[in-house]
Structure 1
Amino acid sequence: MLEILAITTPIFLLIGAGYLAMGTRLVNREQLQGVATFVLYFALPALVIRALTHNPLDEVFQPHYLLAYGLGSLAVFTFALLLTLKLQGKPLSEGAMHALGMSASNSGFIGYPVAAMVLGASPAAVLMALNMVIENLLIIPAALILAEAGRQSGAGIVTVARKTVVRLVRNPVLVGLAAGLVLAVTETSLPGPLAQVVEMLANAAGPAALFVIGGTLFGLQVRGMVNDVGQIVVGKLILHPLAVLVLFLLMPAADPTLLVGALLFASAPMISIYPLLGQRYGMAGISAAALMVGTLAAFVTLSLGIWLMTLANLLPIR
């Protein structure tokens, strides 16, 4: 178990550093936002480009992974909708936000750093790129379209869908994904200085992302939201990885690295922009509290998950 903690503890110490920096006022919200912008617009796209250009394209494109992880995430998304709408009687916009919190992982800011520690930077970056496709082209658009439709009483779905597509086209990670795919398909190598810049930016992605998460958590509170927050957190940290595991087991045997990576990413807490999205639909407090509780609880669940994968001989600790 000490070997497991050696993997997860540095991750959460970096998160703690961000929290401490905010708590001691070494940085303020504007400065933290600047770091977050650097990660989102420079480091993560560079990470995706490096992953796509440093690996053969047939190793990057994993339809088995996309199908299993995508269907597992979609299953949890659908379950959350049915639970909140049919059994709990919540409005559509709120149900969509619950579904988003339970099925969309923080692949860039937490999933990748953890997977890089366990599997190595190169395979972790490839899997992060695949997860970004699923989250940005399937889960997040579905949640936003449903939430906006609920907010507008079912009107304007086509308009909402069009605006969502426009936002996705401008997503810097997807722009990096497209650029990396073009370079990989055409077998084009970046010039030396530019390749070095991409390498340096990619190396900064993990630590900077974890620092941002820690700073974001400072000041968040849980007030009278135990049931909703608990439901979202349990769905994300337990139900999501279980659903992904079941889908992998139902499909033909695949590389164990893909299964381990999928479970690690599915075990990450919800996306970091979850409170920002939830705020638009009256769930600012619940989504922020869920992010805080989910991130803190992930230290335990990720450590436990890595330990269980080690016992199952999926992940021998060296």
Structure 2
Amino acid sequence: MENIISVTIPFFALIGCGYLAGRSPLFSADAVRGLNAFVWNFALPCLIFRALALRPLAELIEFEYMAAYAVTGWTVYILTAAMGRVLFKTNLGVAVIQGQAACVSNIGYMGLPLLIALFGDAATIPAVLAMLVDMFFIQSPSMALLEANRHTGAARMAMVARIVGGFLRNPFIISMALGVGVSALQLPLPGPIDSFTGLLAAATAPCALFAVGASLAGRPIADRFSEVAFMSGCKLFLHPLIAWVMMFMVFDIDTQWATIAVLGAALPVGGNIFVVAHNFGVYSVRASTAIIVSTALAVVTFSALVGMVTL
């Protein structure tokens, strides 16, 4: 357990450091946006690109794992949305946000650095594939539901075009496509490109974790804490529980990959849930608070789960 704490605590300390910086005059809102832009557009895409480009294509094709992660996500999504409607009498838009909050983890900014620290490079591919599943099979249909809930007819076609265009311009999707292409063609990375992308990829962990904390400092806080506690509880407990059942009992997944998936599910609510909620004008303050609360609680819950699954 001491070894686990020695790995996880420094990572959460980086988040705490970012939070304190974000609350101080030393790190302005513009600085937070700049750091996030660097991680989103440069550092993390290079990490994803290298993870895919430097491995044989056969290692990247794990359809059963992706199916297991997708089934996990949708099971948690539906259960959370249904319970939310019963407990809090929510409408469809709120139920969609609650469902997303419960099953979309902060894998990009938190999961990749943490899981790589715990499992080495072996964690990169399952974590990246989990991100891919979340983006294409969870968040994309969710945004379509939110758009359909407020538009009809021709507006829905425009909505589809916006969603597709947004995903095609996403730096993560572009880096995944380039990485898979290089892997499929078995192209070696030229020395300068290898060094350049390697330097940017190495900046991902400290910058991303610091950015998580700094971003939390500027988020609005909700007043109705029962709904926040509900979303945070579903994310930190229900999601990893369902992931464990699916990975170890329903599907035939490699033990290490299954363990990584369970830990990925135990991460706090993904920050982009607030972006979606804010853009659609639905439940944004409570989604923001769920991100803060689940991130704070994950210091304990994630570390404890790491100790349980790695015994």
Q: Would you say same fold, with TM above 0.5?
A: yes
Alignment of 1:147-186 (within 5 A): 147-152=146-151, 156-186=155-185
Judging changes above 3 Å, is the alpha-carbon distance between structure 1 residues 118 and 87 closer, same or farther for their aligned structure 2 residues? same
TM-score by length of structure 2 reads 0.94
One-letter code aligned to 1:94: V
One-letter code aligned to 1:106: N
Quote the offset at 1:69 in angstroms: 1.1
Q: Which residue of 2 aligns with 1:72?
A: 72
Q: Is the 8 Å Cα contact of residues 93 and 149 (structure 1) preserved in structure 2? A: no
Q: Which residue of 2 aligns with 1:59?
A: 59
Alignment of 1:245-256 (within 5 A): 245-256=244-255
One-letter code aligned to 1:140: Q
Extract unaligned runs of 5+ from structure 1. Answer: 312-318
One-letter code aligned to 1:184: S
Q: Which residue of 1 aligns with 2:112?
A: 112
Q: Which residue of 1 aligns with 2:137?
A: 138
| Cα distance in 1 for residues equivalent to 2:166 and 2:240 | 28
Extract unaligned runs of 5+ from structure 2. Answer: none
2:301 corresponds to 1:282: no
| Cα distance in 2 for residues equivalent to 1:294 and 1:245 | 19
Name the Cα RMSD after superposition: 1.8
- Alpha-carbon displacement from aligned partner over 1:162-217 (angstroms, at most 9, x marks no partner): 32111111110000000001100011122210111111111111111100000011
2:224 corresponds to 1:225: yes
2:259 corresponds to 1:270: no
| Cα distance in 2 for residues equivalent to 1:48 and 1:261 | 17
Q: Secondary structure at the match of 1:66?
A: helix
Judging changes above 3 Å, is the alpha-carbon distance between structure 1 residues 252 and 268 closer, same or farther for their aligned structure 2 residues? closer
| Cα distance in 2 for residues equivalent to 1:179 and 1:258 | 23
| Cα distance in 2 for residues equivalent to 1:80 and 1:151 | 22
Judging changes above 3 Å, is the alpha-carbon distance between structure 1 residues 157 and 77 closer, same or farther for their aligned structure 2 residues? farther
Q: Which residue of 2 aligns with 1:243?
A: 242
| Cα distance in 1 for residues equivalent to 2:171 and 2:301 | 30
- Alpha-carbon displacement from aligned partner over 1:280-307 (angstroms, at most 9, x marks no partner): 3232210111110011111111011011
Q: Is the 8 Å Cα contact of residues 127 and 260 (structure 2) preserved in structure 1? A: no
- Alpha-carbon displacement from aligned partner over 1:211-244 (angstroms, at most 9, x marks no partner): 0000011144544221110111111111111111
| Cα distance in 2 for residues equivalent to 1:87 and 1:159 | 34
Q: Is the 8 Å Cα contact of residues 21 and 27 (structure 1) preserved in structure 2? A: yes
Q: Is the 8 Å Cα contact of residues 94 and 281 (structure 1) preserved in structure 2? A: no
Q: Which residue of 1 aligns with 2:305?
A: 305
Using the TM superposition, name which of 186-195 and 122-131 deviates more: 122-131
| Cα distance in 2 for residues equivalent to 1:53 and 1:75 | 32
| Cα distance in 2 for residues equivalent to 1:57 and 1:148 | 36
| Cα distance in 2 for residues equivalent to 1:289 and 1:303 | 21
Quote the offset at 1:86 in angstroms: 5.2
Number of residue pairs the alignment of both structures matches? 310
Q: Which residue of 1 aligns with 2:207?
A: 208
Q: Secondary structure at the match of 1:287?
A: helix
Alignment of 1:8-23 (within 5 A): 8-23=8-23
Using the TM superposition, name which of 213-222 and 223-232 deviates more: 213-222
